């Protein structure tokens, strides 16, 4: 039941009434409207149906309740219709459409109330329409639309789009299967073309088909969106519909986990050799802070640029614990990731050298490959390449105006190809913009929180974290390319690295390679200095030594021939002297195995200090005067240009105890000199070591015994 009595304050300002309380009361004083004393409080209250018609309409519209759902109890309607479908359609509409239906219902109810209270129909509809801001014809048409429904369903019926339970258009099962199979293909054919083929086929087979729009609605209704995407766009598109996983990095610290990826710039750059090529830069980024730590630019994404940029990172900041990279041919090359168990890009061989990452104790994590495509969301660096990323800062820099190529062939600027940027200019701008990128404040990442820059977030954590630093010896691992080669019978190795530059193959020789003849060793070298010495390692990354480049000479070069002969003769003489010394050593060794007195066990030491080959120096043994023949041999040996000749102890027992001390130092993790490591490895393959080892295990003899 509608409200009938209103106070002056409630009527003031309503359509058709004065704007003030005093003005309303004056109308009552004149008898223009019916009034009575208020039942509660002081003053007058005025009857609804004595007010002007437009005022009645406005008040009646205000009284309409706001309906948001189907009433719980309904009376039987005067027309057979689908009430459930009516309200389901209402619930599916937007809030704007629902509000529009409520406004229409309020105006219709106001007009009907006026009519029920004696107002002429024409006046009632005209007044209600004017108050609602629509025309009389529009409001009356809306009433005609709902009058055959039950009044409790008028709100749902006033929402546009409901057609009720209409008869379904006839469609043969064969026609539906034909259209569905044609439309749901990875080629993504248009619905109109599929329908045209259906019409021609249906005419031949006598199928009944509905309209194109009916078939499209049937596709939308019967085929779930995920199935439509899978069948028309593929598995990768379906995968992207699944909500992305959100991972927190607050339990990390700066430099703990890095990730890297390559980005091809959309800029024409002229290289020193005259080629005009779009450069590609490999970036290493800290996952915790999102700071770009290092980068290198080259014509393509290759092993060298990845290795050198990683070396820049380690030298400036230190070693990380984990790294995430793509499983591409360049990033997953064996020199960086060799020995990683789940390295699927290449065939894993037993004699592959240990890669840089596992050698330095860095755990490698591969990005996922889903439906044959890389999952870029796994690497935060990918977001730096997206909209508003480095392409905006670097590729579209004012210095590159005219050299910008556009992101794709369809996005070429009008000044495409009008300018080429020299490499030096490009690298200068790249350095400048990367610095600005890291220093920009207000980054909206989990750590920066809309306040800090990448630099600030990195520095705050880096200063508190424990960072691993690389040794000077480890520097060779990332500054030099590695290649596993066979050692030939003449203790030389051959590299093919010089073939690309026209130099040809390069040979390198070292006396240390005689022990590895017929085996593979790892050679680390600088690709830009192939005639310098190279470094030799075993396949498990133990250092062997250096090897010198053996240059090729002319066929008639007699000077080079004489030098080669001299070096060969010196090597043979030195070997003979060493063999003669070995004979003496064997005799001493046999004599030393026979005990001449009871074994005396030394007392236990109060404390033990680990052996340090750098600080622990033995005194040179006393030497007797040399004979004239021995002096001549010594002078001849001194003239032989052999580098870094190691002075060894004279007695087998002393050499074996030296080996034990170095072995204990290695086991304890004490830093050992490179020459001691090399001798330690070579000595344990000699007959003297085997004999001394047997004596030591049987009798535990000391040096004096």
Considering only CA atoms, give the Rg of the chain: 46
> Which residue did the predictor score with more confidence, 177 or 592?
177
pLDDT of residue 644: 41
pLDDT of residue 270: 93
Mean pLDDT of 353-373: 70
Instruction: Give, in order, the Cα–Cα distances in Å from 16 to each of 51, 495, 579.
Output: 9, 102, 127
pLDDT band for position 568 (50/70/90)?
low
Distance CA 691, CA 2 (A): 117
- Residues 131-150 pLDDT 10s: 878 887 888 788 887 887 88
> Which residue did the predictor score with more confidence, 525 or 282?
282
Distance CA 352, CA 333 (A): 11
Mean pLDDT of 179-197: 92
Mean pLDDT of 213-230: 88
Mean pLDDT of 110-130: 81
pLDDT band for position 655 (50/70/90)?
confident
Tokens linked to 381: 């660096």
- Residues 195-208 pLDDT 10s: 999 999 999 999 99
> Which residue did the predictor score with more confidence, 273 or 638?
273
Is pLDDT above 80 for 693?
yes
Secondary structure (3-state) at 269 = strand
Phi/psi of residue 65, nearest 5 degrees: -70, 150
pLDDT of residue 64: 59
Mean pLDDT of 203-216: 90
Give the rounded percent of residues in the chain with a pLDDT score beyond 70: 70
E strand or H helix that includes residue 458: helix 454-462
pLDDT of residue 489: 87
pLDDT of residue 158: 82
pLDDT of residue 354: 62
Mean pLDDT of 657-671: 84
Range name among 332-346, 584-598, 678-692 with the lowest pLDDT average: 584-598
Burial of 39 (0-12, 13-18, 19+ CB in 10 A): exposed
Give the rounded percent of residues in the chain with a pLDDT score beyond 90: 18
Is pLDDT above 80 for 356?
no
Instruction: Give, in order, the Cα–Cα distances in Å from 88 to each of 71, 98, 274, 322, 701.
Output: 13, 12, 70, 54, 98
> Which residue did the predictor score with more confidence, 200 or 690?
200
List the one residue out of 376, 421, 371, 368 whose CA is nearest residue 396.
421
> Which residue did the predictor score with more confidence, 250 or 457?
457
Residue-by-residue DSSP string for 78-135: SS---HHHHHHHHHTS-HHHHHHHHHHHHHHHHHHHHHHTT--HHHHHHHHHHHHTS-
Is pLDDT above 90 for 451?
yes
Distance CA 641, CA 336 (A): 37
pLDDT band for position 348 (50/70/90)?
low
Distance CA 77, CA 452 (A): 66
pLDDT of residue 564: 53
Is pLDDT above 50 for 40?
yes
Order of all β-strands in the sheet with 506-509: 481-486, 520-525, 534-537, 543-550, 506-509, 492-495
pLDDT of residue 435: 94
Is pLDDT above 90 for 457?
yes
Per 3-state DSSP, what percentage of the chain is helix, strand, and coil (rounded to 5)? Answer: 45, 10, 45
Residue-by-residue DSSP string for 529-588: -TTS-EEEE-TTS-EEEEEEEE----TT-HHHHHHHHHHHHHHHHHHHHHHHHHHHHHHH
pLDDT of residue 352: 55
pLDDT band for position 578 (50/70/90)?
low
Distance CA 53, CA 61 (A): 12
pLDDT of residue 607: 43
pLDDT band for position 500 (50/70/90)?
very low
pLDDT of residue 19: 82
Distance CA 658, CA 663 (A): 9
> Which residue did the predictor score with more confidence, 499 or 50?
50
Tokens linked to 479: 């500054």
pLDDT of residue 329: 59
Angle between helices 121-132 and 95-116 (to 10 degrees): 150
Distance CA 74, CA 87 (A): 13
The predicted model scores a pTM of: 0.47
Q: Are strands 421-422 and 269-270 parallel, antiparallel or unpaired?
A: parallel
Q: What is the mean pLDDT of the chain?
A: 76
Distance CA 691, CA 689 (A): 5
Check if the beta carbon of residue 280 is closer than 8 Å to that of residue 299.
yes
List the one residue out of 73, 36, 63, 47 whose CA is nearest residue 152.
73
Check if the beta carbon of residue 380 is closer than 8 Å to that of residue 290.
yes
Tokens linked to 92: 């599916």
The DSSP code for 408 is S
Distance CA 677, CA 473 (A): 13
| Range among 107-111, 277-281, 601-605, 609-613 rated most confident | 277-281
pLDDT of residue 187: 92
Is pLDDT above 70 for 221?
yes
Cross-strand partners of 468? 319
Check if the beta carbon of residue 369 is closer than 8 Å to that of residue 375.
yes
């Amino acid at each position: 039941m509608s409200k009938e009595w209103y106070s002056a304050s409630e009527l003031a300002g309503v359509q058709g009434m004065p704007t003030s309380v005093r003005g309303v009361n004056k109308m009552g004083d004149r008898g223009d409207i019916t009034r009575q004393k208020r039942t509660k409080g002081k003053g007058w209250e005025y009857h609804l149906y004595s007010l002007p018609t437009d005022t009645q309409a406005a008040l009646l519209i205000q009284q309409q309740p706001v309906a948001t759902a189907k009433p719980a109890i309904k009376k039987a309607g005067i027309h057979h219709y689908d009430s459930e479908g009516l309200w389901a359609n209402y619930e599916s509409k937007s809030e704007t459409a629902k509000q529009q239906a409520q406004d229409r219902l309020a105006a219709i109810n106001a007009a009907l109330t006026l009519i029920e209270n004696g107002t002429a129909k024409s006046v009632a509809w005209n007044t209600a329409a004017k108050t609602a801001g629509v025309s009389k014809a529009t409001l009356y048409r809306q009433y005609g639309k709902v009058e055959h429904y039950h009044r409790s369903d008028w709100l749902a019926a006033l929402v546009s789009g409901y057609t009720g339970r209409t008869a379904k258009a006839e469609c043969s099962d064969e026609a539906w299967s034909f259209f569905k199979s044609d439309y749901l293909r990875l080629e993504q054919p248009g619905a109109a073309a599929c329908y045209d083929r259906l019409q021609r086929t249906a005419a031949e087979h006598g199928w009944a088909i509905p309209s194109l729009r009916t078939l499209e609605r049937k596709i939308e209704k019967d085929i779930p969106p995920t199935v439509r995407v899978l069948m028309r766009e593929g598995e990768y598109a379906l995968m992207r519909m699944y909500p992305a996983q959100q991972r927190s990095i607050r339990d990390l610290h700066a430099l703990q986990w890095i990730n890297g990826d390559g980005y091809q710039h959309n800029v024409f750059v002229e290289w020193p050799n005259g080629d005009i090529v779009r450069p590609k830069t490999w970036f290493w980024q800290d996952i915790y802070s999102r700071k770009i730590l290092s980068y290198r630019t080259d014509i393509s994404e290759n092993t060298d640029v990845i290795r050198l940029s990683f070396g820049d990172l380690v030298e400036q900041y230190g070693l990380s614990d984990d790294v995430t990279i793509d499983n591409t041919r360049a990033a997953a090359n064996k020199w960086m990731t060799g020995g990683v168990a789940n390295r699927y890009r290449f065939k894993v061989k037993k004699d592959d050298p240990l890669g840089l990452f596992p050698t330095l104790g860095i755990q490698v994590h591969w990005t996922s490959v889903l439906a044959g495509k890389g999952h870029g969301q796994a690497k935060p660096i990918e977001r730096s390449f997206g909209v508003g990323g480095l392409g905006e800062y670097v590729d579209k820099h004012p210095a590159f105006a005219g050299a910008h190529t556009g992101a794709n062939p369809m996005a070429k600027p009008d000044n495409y190809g009008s300018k080429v940027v020299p490499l030096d200019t490009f690298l200068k701008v790249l350095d400048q913009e990367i610095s600005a990128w890291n220093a920009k404040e207000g980054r909206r990442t989990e750590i920066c929180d809309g306040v800090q820059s990448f630099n600030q977030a990195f520095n705050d954590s880096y200063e508190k974290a424990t960072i691993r630093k690389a040794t000077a010896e480890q520097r060779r691992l990332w500054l030099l390319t590695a290649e596993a080669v066979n050692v030939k019978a003449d203790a030389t190795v051959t590299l093919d690295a010089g073939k690309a530059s026209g130099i040809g193959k390069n040979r390198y020789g070292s006396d240390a390679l005689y022990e590895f003849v017929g085996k593979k060793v790892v050679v680390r070298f600088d690709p830009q200095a192939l005639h310098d010495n190279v470094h030799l390692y075993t396949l498990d990354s133990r250092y062997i030594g250096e090897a010198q480049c053996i240059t090729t000479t002319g066929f008639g070069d007699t000077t080079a021939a004489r030098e080669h002969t001299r070096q060969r003769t010196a090597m043979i003489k030195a070997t003979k002297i060493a063999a003669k010394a070995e004979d003496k050593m064997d005799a001493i060794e046999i004599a030393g195995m026979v005990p001449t007195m009871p074994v005396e066990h030394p007392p236990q030491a109060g404390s033990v200090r680990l052996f340090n080959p750098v600080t622990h120096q033995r005194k040179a043994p006393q030497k007797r005067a040399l004979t004239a023949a021995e002096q001549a041999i010594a002078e001849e040996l001194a003239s032989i240009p052999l580098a870094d000749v190691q002075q060894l102890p004279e007695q087998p027992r002393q050499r074996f105890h030296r080996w034990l001390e170095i072995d204990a130092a290695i086991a304890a993790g004490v830093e050992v000199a490179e020459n001691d490591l090399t001798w330690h490895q070579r000595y344990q393959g000699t007959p003297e070591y085997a004999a001394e080892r047997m004596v030591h295990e049987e009798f535990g003899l000391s040096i004096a015994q």
